[in-house]
Amino acid sequence: MSERTPLLSADLEHTCYESLPRDNSKVDNPDDETTIICKELSFARLAIIMITAWFGVFLGAADTTVIATLSAQISSEFNSLNLLSWFATAYLIANAASQPISGRLTDIFGRGPGLAFSNVAFAAGNLVCGLATSQKAMIVGRVIAGIGGGGLMSIPTFLGSDLVPLRKRGLVGGIANLWYASGAMVGAVFGGLLNDYTTLGWRLAFLIQVIPSLLSAVIVLLLVKVPPKQSDKSYLKRIDFGGVVLVSTFLACLVLGLSSGGNIVPWSHPLPITAITLSISLFAAFIVCELKVPLPPMLA
């Protein structure tokens, strides 16, 4: 070995590997989180990975606003306006519920599988929406798409932190925000154009997202090789699933009460009164739950 001999072998050029736990005295503890160290990828490989991930951000943001110009047409086709507000709300609630836990879950199962699952769920949800024959089926599809969309919009941030050197993360974060803003801006306009100028109408606005999402899932599975930070499934106990369930049901009950009162039934009807009362109780339970949940250790 001389001063010119590479310290890293050539086969590590495009791979990641795990370091020891942060505290070497706890090597045998399965709950210790390990730090992922990735050798800087070539520009071409990194660009393909990040553009694929950012395209998911674009689709997730577009799906948030696409419903704005389609709700009236969808409700008219189903001959009911009672559940119109749920077309957007169902997606947003599911999206908000999946984003906080996606980081922890991909720490355990890996960024690639997590992003691939999000793409598949997003595609499945939009397929259900595009083929829906009732408002209830439409709402179910929006919930499924929202679960996938939450991962699509959050996991690329974690992926960028794993693959991009610290000195470049500001630039990468800015580019990701551009993709999000572009998707949010284009979604409503694109949906309106497809509804007005295509034979399939509003259904095409959802169906057209299915194939790109599935292709993205395949690409990230093939190219993203970041290993899990914590492979032991006991790490799942650190995820605040209770908080996620409480805040999701709180939002669902609140929207149900506000949208049904004066619309589906009078405000004096038990449905809005019960839903709003239950939402207040769930919010209080969420606060109490979060006060008792221990914070994850900053140093493993």
Q: Report yes or no: 289 and 242 within 8 Å, Cβ to Cβ.
A: yes
Residue 239 DSSP SS3:
coil
Whether 81 shows a pLDDT value over 50: the answer reads yes
Mean pLDDT value across residues 267-292? 89
| pLDDT per position as a tens digit, 1-53 | 555 555 544 444 445 544 444 444 444 454 455 555 556 677 888 889 999 99
pLDDT reported for residue 39: 61
Residue 30 DSSP SS3:
coil
- Identify any residues that bridge with 140 across adjacent strands, giving them in sequence order: none
The residue ranking higher by pLDDT, 258 or 217, is 217
Q: Report yes or no: 86 and 255 within 8 Å, Cβ to Cβ.
A: yes
Considering only CA atoms, which of 231, 228, 224 is closest in space to residue 112? 224
pTM of the model: 0.77
Q: Report yes or no: 275 and 249 within 8 Å, Cβ to Cβ.
A: no
Q: Tokens at residue 150, please?
A: 């939450």
| pLDDT per position as a tens digit, 179-233 | 999 999 999 999 999 998 988 889 999 999 999 999 999 999 888 887 766 655 6
Indicate the residue type of 184: A
How far is it, in rounded angstroms, from Cα 260 to Cα 85? 10
pLDDT reported for residue 166: 82
